[in-house]
Amino acid sequence: MLAGLLIILLPLILGYLLPFKSRSALKFINRMLSWIVYIILFFMGISLAFLDNLGSNLVAIFHYAAVSVFVIITLNIGALWLLESLRPWRHQHQQEALPSRLAMALESLKLCGVVVAGFVLGMSGLSLLRHATQASEYTLIFLLFLIGIQLRNSSMTLKQIVLNRRGMMVSGVVIASSLCGGVINAFVLGLPLKAGLAMSSGFGWYSLSGILMTESWGPVIGSAAFFNDLARELIAIMLIPGLIRHSRSTALGICGATSMDFTLPVLQRSGGIEIVPPAIVHGFVLSLLVPVLMAFFSH
């Protein structure tokens, strides 16, 4: 267990300990992260193609993902709505016109296309492709190292995180309700409890959760985690404009870890500039916990 935790956390910690001052270097690292995510998801698709009983496994993947996202999102919304009732979020913002949500959804679906492309190539059965799983392991270690650098240079200090009470409250509710959903999913889907908890710890960060779950629990559970967290982002994009009128805490919380990057523009346009600091804190806390919780529940 300790060795598995170290393999995941050590590159993350090493990256976090490296201070980078050059803006050009940080921009290059951000671009590399995008490229590497595509590479690893491509490897994931190849690994899927080499599964035994492929047809039944594909059915299992989408069954796991559908049940998981339904349970977790339902619990998240219920808990966040209760938070909003008990601690209303006061604001003065008038909602602005939003960019095309369909275009944003299609942008996130590109990652699905990469998995499918890897799967199609894997169906060729080339012997060289059987090393895809091992290649993804080494690429994952490098990815976690770069993520550590990115988190260190996110300009969020411990003081800023602790003092933003709304962002911390929402992230706490999301973590607790998601883990409760993981327990329910484990029993409903017949998975090991740790697998259910690990799958619920992705918090919408599909490009990392699918990779980590594949390494720890195999391509079936890893792919289910990927689609579970991807669906969370797509649901958030569609629901934010309507939810923010009635429960800002819910609109922020369903974004999960993506509230500090991909869904942040939607939150800002819908909820105003005042929602940005809580959104960044919320996303930062969840992003920091994804690899930690998944490593803990996967070994």
Can you give the pLDDT at residue 198?
94
The residues of the chain scoring below 50 in pLDDT are 1-3, 93, 95-96
Q: How far is CA 29 from CA 48, 50, 102, 144, 290, in A?
A: 28, 32, 29, 12, 20
Token pair in block for residue 113: 């296309």
- Cα–Cα distance measured from residue 270 to residue 265, given in angstroms and rounded to the nearest whole number: 8
Can you give the pLDDT at residue 1?
42
Can you give the pLDDT at residue 102?
66
pLDDT digits (tens, 9 = 90+) for 168-191: 999 999 999 999 999 999 999 999
Can you give the pLDDT at residue 59?
87
pLDDT digits (tens, 9 = 90+) for 272-298: 767 878 888 898 889 889 888 988 888
Can you give the pLDDT at residue 195?
94
AA letter at 205: W
Query: 141 and 24 in contact (C-beta within 8 Å)?
Result: no
CA 252 to chain centre: 14
CA 231 to chain centre: 10
Can you give the pLDDT at residue 148?
77
